[in-house]
Amino acid sequence: MLSCKHKTSDETKVLSATELRDSLEMAKYKETKAREAAAQQRVVTTTTTQSAPVTTTAAPKKKGWSSAAKGTAIGAGSGAILGAIIDKNHRGRGAVIGGVAGGGAGYIIGRKKDKKTGRAQ
């Protein structure tokens, strides 16, 4: 008389509540994704002297290290090593001087790269 597929009204309510919760979470997820996509594709409209609107999109935010930061880190490290090797009598002083000189040179070279790629403002 009882079938395996028979569900009581309590079981139906639990399934409905679970489905409702899942659908609400999916709606929140879709809304969040839509906001993120809209934020990435902000459109800036300006007017030229001919009164024709010009539309440009904002560039996405750059992630990771800039070339200037990489150059500074690499230059400081290699300069410190070379400075310690060159100044054999006072290795600490040589490392400090070499690190500062190498870091400065690395920053200048990396900054030039950033300007070429458009990362630096």
Confidence of residue 100 (pLDDT cuts 50, 70, 90): very high
Which amino acid does the sequence have at 37? A
CA distance 102 to 99: 5
Instruction: For residue 4, tell me if it sits in a domain.
Output: no
Co-location of 46 and 77 in the same domain: no
pLDDT of the residue at 57: 65
Instruction: For residue 23, tell me if it sits in a domain.
Output: yes
Co-location of 77 and 39 in the same domain: no
Residue 44's alpha-carbon distances to 40, 54, 70, 106, 120, in angstroms, are 12, 8, 32, 36, 21
CA distance 63 to 79: 27
CA distance 67 to 39: 26
Task: Report the chain's terminal Cα–Cα distance, integer Å.
Answer: 78
For residue 68, pLDDT beyond 60: yes
Confidence of residue 22 (pLDDT cuts 50, 70, 90): confident
**Across 41-58, average pLDDT:** 58
Strand ranges inside the chain, DSSP E: 43-47, 53-57
Q: Which range marks the domain in which residue 32 is found?
A: 9-57
- Counting every residue written for the chain, the total comes to 121
